[in-house]
Amino acid sequence: MGVKKDVMKKRILLWGVVIFIFLFMIRYGLPIVFALLTALMLEGSVKKLHQKFKFSRGAAVTTVFLTFLLVLATLGYLIVAIIVDQLLNFSLRFPFVISDITSIINSFIHKWELYADAIPVGVIESLEDSFESTMDSLIESVTAIAQSVVLWAAKLPEFLIHILVYLIGLYMISFELPNIKAKAAKALSESTSNKFKLVYAQLNKAGIGFLKAQLILSVVTYVLSLIGLLILNVPYAAVISIFVVLVDLLPILGTGSFLVPWALFVLIKGNTLLAVGLVILFLVITVVRRVIEPKIFSTNMGIDPLAALISMYLGFQLIGFLGLFAGPTVVILYEALKKANIVKFSVKL
């Protein structure tokens, strides 16, 4: 009985240390954590070059790393180029937009002056209060956006340092991964080592499945966006659809952060049909994605569709957009630990 208690105490202590290290790394060493996870995901390609094509370990790691870097750089260039192009186009059209908004406001003021005398005083006061509260909200929103931009700009150097640490860490960890695995295996018993290998295999499979699922969802978003914009006779529909997909991939943002402001903008300009069409397009993309997301994630990541749906919903409710990915990840980790017999938890009624 005393031996069992000692074993239980050791397990609790071990899990406490693991959780502490995990939380510490999440808080202070996230670039290294991401570098390790990326290195584990890229290890299959490194092994293939090393074993099948007889590359040396260093050459295989360098080739895979440079390919990965090229893909990241290409995606980054496309995102920045599209954003800069859109901002330049908007800056060229901005004077005309201001002119249109001014005309709309002047027209509203003129009509207000014509009919103000015929409107009861109480209604006028109510409308004025509503207008003032709307303007206050608008000013607060603009101020918040401006503050966010300033904060983001201030954190840009820190972000670049994180990226640099991530890339250097990725290359070094990829190069030393066999040694890291060997040292970890020596520190663990054979049984524990086999369990962690099983967990790693499950997580690696889920990681690749996640990328596949994300690619499928991006293709669906692009096709729906392209079809909708072509129906609405929007110029450069193919390019704009790419931008919609890229915005949708960004954390916190989504198709709504692009299509809804666009709809409000064209509505102010008087193009009601296009505004309604853009809102409908946003709703169609959102509904279709929400319907197919659980099935696609469950198929590619190896979890039950209902578990995927519930975990995505709870994750979204708890931590927002990132919860859509964190929720299924927790389920996958739990299933992997359960299969490896590390977690033993069952409820019988």
Contact 317, 323 (CB under 8 A): yes
pLDDT mean over 296-311: 77
Quick one: DSSP state of residue 190? Answer: H
List pLDDT tens digits, range 115-127.
Answer: 666 667 676 677 6
135: burial class by Cβ within 10 Å (0-12, 13-18, 19+)? exposed
The three-class DSSP label of residue 233 is: coil
CA angle in degrees (0–180, nearest 5) for 147-148-150: 65
Nearest-angstrom CA–CA distance, 297 and 310: 12
In the predicted structure, residue 325 carries a pLDDT above the cut 80: no
Per domain, the residue ranges of the chain are: 29-94+114-184, 188-343
List pLDDT tens digits, range 4-47.
Answer: 666 677 667 776 776 777 667 666 677 887 888 889 888 889 99
pLDDT mean over 156-162: 84
Q: How many CA atoms lie within 13 A of 256 on its CB side?
A: 9
Over the range 312-341, which residues count as b (16 or more CB within 10 Å of their CB) and which as e?
beebbeeeeeebbbbbbbebbeebbbeebe
Task: State the average pLDDT for the chain.
Answer: 79
